[in-house]
Amino acid sequence: MMTGNMPMLKQKMRLTTLLAVALSILMSAFVAMPAMSQEITPEQLDLAREFVALNDESGIFEREVIKAGIRAYQEIIPQNPSLGVPLNKAVAAVAESYKPRKPELMDQIARFYALTFSKDELQQMVDFYSSPTGRKLSKASAVINESVTQIVQIFRSNLNNEFFAKVRAELKAAGFDT
């Protein structure tokens, strides 16, 4: 093992890691940044709302409310199994109480789209999602997103394990034990 170079190697690795993290933060901030300086016109917001309505085939709001109800049920029922029927009624009542809040969420999403896309782009999106192919994509998007998320999670897990093993092999080939 080459111990004389270890402090310098550790310093270079720290600097490289810091630079990689800084670059990653800058890139994610740049990519995620919508054109915030533009004003949203009423027509643009209307198109964004139309797009959100067309693209909500999977029921974003409803899915999240149902998931919250399931989480509440999973927390309460193991502690008190006898509450099955009253818990069902309580979850249903609370879920129902959230229905009036759907327009608030849809409006926030529409505003994001209106900030991110021009009026012409929004019109093209509305036109596409009004087409048979666009409607099919919209209906399938929730399943597609879940599947893609699972694929990426598996890839990430494999990548992390393989990457770590290869880094260790590179260090070993350079004469360092890890």
Q: Where in the chain are the domains?
A: 1-33
At position 40, the amino acid (one-letter code) is: I
Which runs of consecutive H residues, i.e. helices, occur in the chain? Answer: 6-32, 42-54, 60-76, 84-98, 102-116, 119-130, 132-173
Identify the pLDDT of residue 178.
81
CA 57 to CA 138: how far, in whole Å? Answer: 6
Say if residue 19's pLDDT is above 60: no
Identify the pLDDT of residue 59.
86
Identify the pLDDT of residue 35.
44
Identify the pLDDT of residue 142.
80
CA 28 to CA 15: how far, in whole Å? Answer: 20
How many residues belong to the chain? 178
pLDDT confidence tier of residue 58, bands split at 50, 70 and 90:
low
Q: Tell me which residue has tokens 């229905």.
A: 99
pLDDT digits (tens, 9 = 90+) for 136-164: 998 888 889 899 999 999 999 999 999 99
Q: What is the mean pLDDT of residues 52-75?
A: 89
